[in-house]
């Protein structure tokens, strides 16, 4: 006997990125370099003495306190989870579900819609402006007013376009909405401003961050939310018990000791991003201005899928975004090491011939 999947999930595709054996992998917005050797050594030392036979601190008390101190907020305004995607899942488990809705502005991060659908939350889609897929207060006010969503998702810098959302856009979303306004700042350390400064217990702003990108810990899967205490309590209520293992908690604590190295890594990536932009500007492609660690571009000639394949044939992997809403023929490249970026530019130049 076969048990049927929920009808609303039957035709839903999972979220995947291509996993191809190449020499230069620039498709998933990872840090081009690993964390500092001192961090690795300290974590290895912790592992040798860790009490693996004991459950971890269920509340991740020390980690949440350290994250709070880093951002200048209170520990009871912090929730930590297995990557920012689990934070999003907990938000939708707590505040989404049947008879509730989430508003997204396409094109944007696919997991906002994907996890909404998994949790039975209705997805309402608004379209960004035609210029660089930007948002403005008038557009946001109209979309939120028409949808009356329980959750409004903003993404700043936006993935995959790299654009940041202005404080005025956040103000518009808050003014027009009666629900949560969730600002996904997975690439927040690259941005000129952060919505964290707007989080307080009397408002409805939730900021989601991750250790995956600027902290160079994608393999560790650690993310967090900064939100009003009432929201944090709801997230704690829906999270599985002991969901953060002892190694993950220790890694997050240790990483925060190396913020200078993190800032230097961000500065280096921004410098290389500028070099890639300059290189792309000399090629027949359309570009989107980025304040993240990736760049969205569209070849002006040729088929994007064939160009993607030519890059793979040169052992360079970028993200094919051409099937995403509104992103016909678009590709996205992650900023890598200087050598990887040079390899990408050379391969793309040949592919565009």
Give pLDDT, residue 131.
87
| Alpha-carbon distances, residue 124 vs 67, 74, 155, 175 (angstroms) | 33, 33, 16, 18
100-127: per-residue pLDDT in tens? 999 999 999 999 999 999 999 999 999 9
Residue 215 has pLDDT above 80, yes or no: yes
Give pLDDT, residue 15.
57
Q: Where are the beta strands (DSSP E) in the chain?
A: 24-25, 78-81, 101-106, 122-127, 151-155, 180-184, 205-210, 223-226, 285-287, 294-299, 316-317, 319-320, 331-334
Q: Is 67 left (phi over 0), alpha (psi -120 to 50) or beta?
A: alpha
What does pTM read for this prediction? 0.95
Give pLDDT, residue 100.
98
Only one residue has tokens 């293992």, namely: 245
Crossing angle of helices 83-95/229-238, nearest 10°?
100
Give pLDDT, residue 67.
98
Residue % of the chain over a pLDDT of 70? 97
DSSP 3-state of 291? coil
Give pLDDT, residue 20.
84
Mean pLDDT of 51-74: 98
Mean pLDDT of 147-155: 98
Residue 254 has pLDDT above 90, yes or no: yes
Give pLDDT, residue 266.
96
Mean pLDDT of 219-223: 97
* Under 8 Å between Cβ of 335 and 342: no
Nearest to 129 by CA among 168, 174, 177, 163: 163
Q: Is 225 left (phi over 0), alpha (psi -120 to 50) or beta?
A: beta
pLDDT band at 285 (very low <50, low <70, confident <90, very high): very high
Residue 14 has pLDDT above 60, yes or no: no
Residue 17 has pLDDT above 80, yes or no: no
Question: In the chain, what are the domains?
Answer: 7-35+260-351 (3.90.1150.10), 37-257 (3.40.640.10)
Structure tokens at 93: 């488990």
Mean pLDDT of 310-325: 95
pLDDT band at 301 (very low <50, low <70, confident <90, very high): confident
81-106: per-residue pLDDT in tens? 999 999 999 999 999 999 999 999 99
DSSP 3-state of 286? strand
């Amino acid at each position: 006997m076969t048990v049927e999947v929920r009808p609303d999930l039957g035709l839903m595709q999972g979220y995947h990125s291509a996993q191809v054996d190449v020499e230069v992998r620039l498709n998933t917005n990872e840090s081009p370099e690993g964390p500092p050797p001192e961090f690795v050594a300290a974590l290895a030392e912790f592992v040798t003495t860790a009490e693996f036979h004991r459950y971890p601190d269920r509340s991740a008390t020390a980690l949440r306190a350290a994250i709070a101190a880093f951002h200048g907020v209170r520990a009871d305004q912090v929730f930590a989870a297995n990557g920012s995607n689990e934070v999003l899942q907990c938000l939708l488990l707590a505040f989404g579900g049947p008879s509730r809705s989430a508003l997204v502005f396409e094109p944007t991060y696919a997991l906002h819609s994907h996890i909404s659908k998994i949790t039975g939350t209705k997805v309402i889609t608004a379209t960004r402006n035609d210029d660089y897929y930007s948002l403005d207060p008038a557009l946001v006010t109209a979309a939120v007013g028409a949808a009356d969503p329980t959750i409004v998702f903003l993404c700043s810098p936006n993935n995959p376009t790299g654009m940041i959302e202005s404080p005025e856009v956040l103000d518009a979303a808050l003014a027009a909405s009666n629900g949560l306004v969730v600002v996904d700042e997975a690439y927040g350390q690259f941005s000129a401003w952060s919505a964290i400064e707007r989080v307080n217990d009397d408002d409805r702003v939730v900021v989601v961050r991750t250790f995956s990108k600027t902290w160079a810990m994608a393999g560790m899967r650690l993310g967090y939310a900064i939100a009003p205490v009432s929201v944090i309590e709801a997230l704690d209520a829906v999270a599985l018990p002991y969901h953060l293992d002892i190694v993950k908690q220790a890694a997050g604590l240790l990483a925060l000791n190396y913020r200078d190295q993190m800032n230097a890594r961000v500065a280096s990536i921004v410098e290389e991003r500028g070099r890639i932009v300059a290189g792309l500007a000399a090629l027949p492609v359309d570009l989107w201005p980025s304040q993240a660690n990736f760049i969205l571009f569209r070849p002006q000639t040729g088929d994007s899928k064939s160009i993607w394949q030519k890059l793979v044939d040169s052992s360079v992997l970028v993200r094919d975004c051409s099937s995403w809403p509104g992103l016909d023929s678009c590709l996205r490249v992650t900023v890598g090491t200087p050598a990887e970026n040079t390899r990408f530019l050379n391969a793309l130049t040949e592919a565009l011939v």
